[in-house]
Chain A
């Protein structure tokens, strides 16, 4: 259980670093035909600030997968995303997500475009996790099932030791 002062600091951190409104940004970028790099840079910067802030507030000093899973879970909770843990070990963790900002992107945007942005955003998030946890061998996969209309999307993070 997080103590109250930490809770308040976390709340302030998440208010300060608001997640960009993808349901608005994606149609704009789709019409403009550019801007993906700027979006990924913005998301990367945001997530790095958030993860660093969270680690400081909660004293998450370890760089292992369990700490990473904890930080990721808190971030997801603060964004109000519905998820459930599937697997957690020393080298791997995976979760099932039943709601993510991408599914709030309008119906006018095609699945291909959504899929492209999903890759861009998740890659930025992965890069932010890698850099803040100093884990170069961290890999991630996401099956994009939510965009395709399934009820859950599986996201897996894994430390590839012999890379």
Chain B
């Protein structure tokens, strides 16, 4: 996602630079024949690029539908077995304990590093709690039961807003996998201490284990956390067993890979489509409009536009290569 945003920014900057350079460095005189060659070549280039991208778009759409049906086919099994109402409720309820316990601990601590660790735990448990509440809501609605306030009643107003937003984002059946994957991603601990530890998001399981070490130590020093580490340790173990089960099932069914592919396909048919429209289709249309009007008399009038669109066609080729690269990775 970050790479795509970076690419779009680079593309926009490149277009702006090209536009400015073409405008400023325009030669005083360019012959009509030269302009006609440039215009024809860039129009042909744009046409070819558009053709390839349109074909790619159709392929992407096909792949997207295929992936979406594959995920939708798998979802009933998850909904009935892995994510039964009882499991969702019990896991969600388990999350309430650390959320409350760390809110109290945060108030009691004066060491900033410790506080920030506890705050991270609260944020992540809250995020997981919201996801479980959404899953519970979906399950209850699906079975025609009335909504339970079990998890929602524990949310503050801000968290409730997040809950509403995430609930709205589930529009297709397979979207629930995104949510389940999100739960697993928040939970699962990395296996190693990473060099880029400060920059990367730590997992909740790892944070809880870290906090247990701290609480155990504090209990030994001044009895301040009176056996809390035992309760948190037990809750962590229970949560781990429940979430590991879901995670194993996701891995077994290749859900993370399918989600990543569908996300790629979605980017290609969404963002890339609009970029194609703006940076290729528009200059292509401009060229098509100019081409019949280009005579020795009008050449001088159109020369700047022709040079800008011809430079854009070179960027278009780079864009096409990137597009093909993305498509091959689908």
Contacts and interface: CB of A to CB of B under 8 A. Distances in A.
Contact of B193 (A19, A27, A31): A19
A158 interface: no
B285 interface: no
B113 interface: yes
A104 B111 CA distance: 16
Contact of A38 (B113, B117, B193, B220): B220
A78 B213 contact: no
Interface stretch (B88-96, B161-169, B194-202): B194-202
B222 A24 contact: no
A35 interface: yes
- A-side interface size class: 20 to 34
Contacts of A18: 189, 206, 209-210, 213
Most chain B beta-carbon contacts within 10 A, residue among A11, A21, A78, A81: A21
Contact of A20 (B112, B113, B210): B210
B175 interface: no
Contacts of A23: 113
B221 interface: yes
A34 interface: yes
Nearest to B203: A15
B90 to A, nearest CB: 22
A117 interface: no
A77 B217 CA distance: 26
A23 B193 CA distance: 12
Interface in B66-110: 110
Contact of B191 (A15, A27, A106): A15
Contacts of A24: 111, 113-114, 117, 210, 214
B189 A15 contact: yes
B192 interface: yes
B198 A42 contact: no
A25 B193 contact: no
A34 B217 CA distance: 11
B242 interface: no
B216 interface: yes
Contacts of B110: 31
7 contacts: A20-B217, A21-B210, A24-B117, A29-B217, A35-B217, A78-B191, A101-B193
Interface of B: 110-114, 117, 189, 191-195, 197-198, 205-206, 209-210, 213-214, 216-218, 220-222
